[in-house]
Amino acid sequence: MKTITILLAFFGAITLFAGNAETGKLKTTVIPTYGMHCSGCEETLNTELQKLDGVKSVKADHVKKIVTVKYDDKKVTLEQLKAAIVNAGYKLSEG
Protein backbone atom coordinates (compact mmCIF):
# COMPACT_ATOMS: atom_id res chain seq x y z
CA MET A 1 0.00 0.00 0.00
CA LYS A 2 2.91 2.38 0.74
CA THR A 3 4.26 1.78 -2.77
CA ILE A 4 0.99 2.85 -4.37
CA THR A 5 0.82 5.97 -2.20
CA ILE A 6 4.39 6.92 -3.04
CA LEU A 7 3.80 6.35 -6.77
CA LEU A 8 0.62 8.43 -6.71
CA ALA A 9 2.43 11.22 -4.92
CA PHE A 10 5.30 11.04 -7.42
CA PHE A 11 3.08 11.14 -10.50
CA GLY A 12 0.91 13.86 -8.98
CA ALA A 13 3.99 16.04 -8.59
CA ILE A 14 5.03 15.44 -12.19
CA THR A 15 1.57 16.37 -13.44
CA LEU A 16 1.57 19.53 -11.37
CA PHE A 17 5.00 20.45 -12.64
CA ALA A 18 4.02 19.77 -16.26
CA GLY A 19 1.00 22.02 -15.84
CA ASN A 20 3.21 24.83 -14.61
CA ALA A 21 5.80 24.35 -17.37
CA GLU A 22 3.57 26.22 -19.82
CA THR A 23 3.93 29.45 -17.88
CA GLY A 24 7.22 30.89 -16.78
CA LYS A 25 8.26 32.35 -13.50
CA LEU A 26 7.27 35.90 -12.81
CA LYS A 27 10.27 38.16 -13.08
CA THR A 28 10.63 41.72 -11.96
CA THR A 29 12.90 44.07 -13.83
CA VAL A 30 13.74 47.74 -13.46
CA ILE A 31 14.39 49.49 -16.78
CA PRO A 32 16.05 52.93 -16.77
CA THR A 33 13.82 55.09 -18.98
CA TYR A 34 14.45 58.65 -20.05
CA GLY A 35 12.16 61.30 -21.49
CA MET A 36 9.37 61.05 -18.90
CA HIS A 37 8.44 64.46 -17.52
CA CYS A 38 5.15 63.99 -15.68
CA SER A 39 2.48 61.60 -14.44
CA GLY A 40 0.99 61.62 -17.95
CA CYS A 41 4.21 60.08 -19.26
CA GLU A 42 4.02 57.45 -16.50
CA GLU A 43 0.44 56.62 -17.47
CA THR A 44 1.40 56.32 -21.15
CA LEU A 45 4.11 53.79 -20.33
CA ASN A 46 1.93 51.90 -17.86
CA THR A 47 -0.80 51.58 -20.50
CA GLU A 48 1.51 50.57 -23.36
CA LEU A 49 3.35 47.91 -21.38
CA GLN A 50 0.13 46.47 -19.92
CA LYS A 51 -0.97 45.71 -23.50
CA LEU A 52 1.76 43.06 -23.76
CA ASP A 53 0.63 39.51 -23.03
CA GLY A 54 2.47 38.29 -19.95
CA VAL A 55 2.86 41.66 -18.23
CA LYS A 56 1.39 41.41 -14.75
CA SER A 57 2.16 44.89 -13.39
CA VAL A 58 3.92 48.11 -14.41
CA LYS A 59 5.02 51.11 -12.37
CA ALA A 60 6.66 53.96 -14.27
CA ASP A 61 8.33 56.65 -12.17
CA HIS A 62 9.31 59.87 -13.94
CA VAL A 63 11.22 61.23 -10.92
CA LYS A 64 13.45 58.15 -10.58
CA LYS A 65 13.52 57.66 -14.38
CA ILE A 66 12.66 53.97 -14.13
CA VAL A 67 9.95 51.56 -15.16
CA THR A 68 9.44 48.52 -12.94
CA VAL A 69 7.74 45.60 -14.67
CA LYS A 70 6.60 42.24 -13.31
CA TYR A 71 6.15 39.78 -16.17
CA ASP A 72 5.90 36.13 -17.20
CA ASP A 73 9.15 35.36 -19.01
CA LYS A 74 7.51 32.60 -21.09
CA LYS A 75 5.09 35.08 -22.65
CA VAL A 76 7.11 38.27 -23.04
CA THR A 77 10.83 39.00 -23.19
CA LEU A 78 12.89 41.83 -21.77
CA GLU A 79 13.63 42.88 -25.34
CA GLN A 80 9.89 43.19 -26.06
CA LEU A 81 9.44 45.32 -22.95
CA LYS A 82 12.24 47.62 -24.02
CA ALA A 83 10.88 47.83 -27.57
CA ALA A 84 7.47 48.89 -26.21
CA ILE A 85 9.13 51.69 -24.23
CA VAL A 86 10.99 52.93 -27.30
CA ASN A 87 7.87 52.62 -29.49
CA ALA A 88 5.99 54.77 -26.95
CA GLY A 89 8.54 57.53 -27.59
CA TYR A 90 10.92 57.15 -24.66
CA LYS A 91 14.64 56.38 -24.47
CA LEU A 92 16.55 53.61 -22.72
CA SER A 93 19.67 55.70 -22.20
CA GLU A 94 20.36 59.34 -21.47
CA GLY A 95 21.15 61.60 -24.33
52-66 residue pLDDT tens: 999 999 999 999 999
Beta bridge partners of 32: 66
DSSP notation for 8-67: HHHHHHHHHHHHHTTS--EEEEEEE-B---SHHHHHHHHHHHHTSTTEEEEEEETTTTEE
pLDDT attached to residue 19: 34
pLDDT at 16 over 50: no
With 90 as the cut, is the pLDDT of residue 12 above it? Answer: no
For residue 93, is pLDDT > 60? yes
Sheet holding 26-32, edge to edge: 26-32, 66-72, 55-61
User: Between β-strands 55-61 and 66-72, what pairing exists: parallel, antiparallel or unpaired?
Assistant: antiparallel
Distance CA 23, CA 19 (A): 8
**pLDDT tens-digit map of 27-85:** 999 999 999 999 999 999 999 999 999 999 999 999 999 999 999 999 999 999 999 99
Please, what are the domains in the chain?
24-95 (3.30.70.100)
